[in-house]
Amino acid sequence: MTKLGLPDHIRACLFDLDGVLTRTAVVHAAAWKEMFDDFLRRRDGDGFRPFDPVADYDEYVDGRPRADGVRTFLASRGIELPEGADDDPPERETVHGLGNRKNVLVLARIREQGVDAYPGSVRFAEAVRAEGLRTAVVSSSANCRDVLVSAGIESLFEVRIDGVVAAERKLPGKPHPDTFLEAARELGVEPGAAAVFEDALAGMDAGRAGRFGYVVGVDRVGQADALRKHGADTVVQDLAELLEERR
């Protein structure tokens, strides 16, 4: 293992954004809950079963492209909606309409609350750059660049494969490995020479499916066992732990 706590053959690090680099996972979970609870209340009345911002978020939404998150959660409740179009207004009850409503809510929360990066993740990314490894951000979020800029960490990453890029290149999102594979391709490394850093179960599945050289699960919410079950080679609560292990 290197001083970064990674296998010797690793030449690039591919980081998820929300929950790994920035404290935005809780913001996204709150926005999903507000949107789904409003939809379910209107559909089922006051006796509706609310969206669980931990269990439902982790299982059906976290790490997935927005429309996939809507479909997957609604399917878990036996609900099917028309697909609609990418530009459906937020009030329209379609898959894309609900997704766009969630985006309006999360952007408002980000504007009001700002975005912070995890200090340990910044330390680790800086150490990765100092050791000469390549770096990329791989996120399903269409707001990835704005979040990186707001958190002041955009310059730490050479490549960004986010929701905008994935749509342009028609790349399926996590749990498929295609966005991570695209990041490795842009960095000029084989998947086996790249490490994936993820906090989402869908991201773990993507790392395993892509046969990446090392998959690090970041456990912010107490799901270490689930991260390992979904393919993590190691699990940490903060990326700085990887540096401390090598002291």
- The single residue of 16, 62, 68, 162 carrying the catalytic annotation is 16
**Residue 137: C-alpha distances to residues 80, 151, 161, 162, 184 (Å):** 32, 14, 6, 8, 10
The closest of 27, 170, 164, 165 to 102, measured between CA atoms, is 27
Q: Is-catalytic flag, 16?
A: yes
Query: Within its chain, how far is the Cα of 14 from the centroid?
Result: 11
Spatial strand order of the sheet with 134-138 comes to: 159-161, 134-138, 12-15, 194-198, 214-218, 234-236
How many helices (DSSP H) and strands (DSSP E) are in the chain?
Answer: 11, 6
Note the residue count of the chain.
247
Angle between helices 66-76 and 95-113 (to 10 degrees): 120
CB atoms within 10 A of CB 192: 14
- The single residue of 8, 18, 37, 233 carrying the catalytic annotation is 18
* Residues marked as catalytic: 16, 18
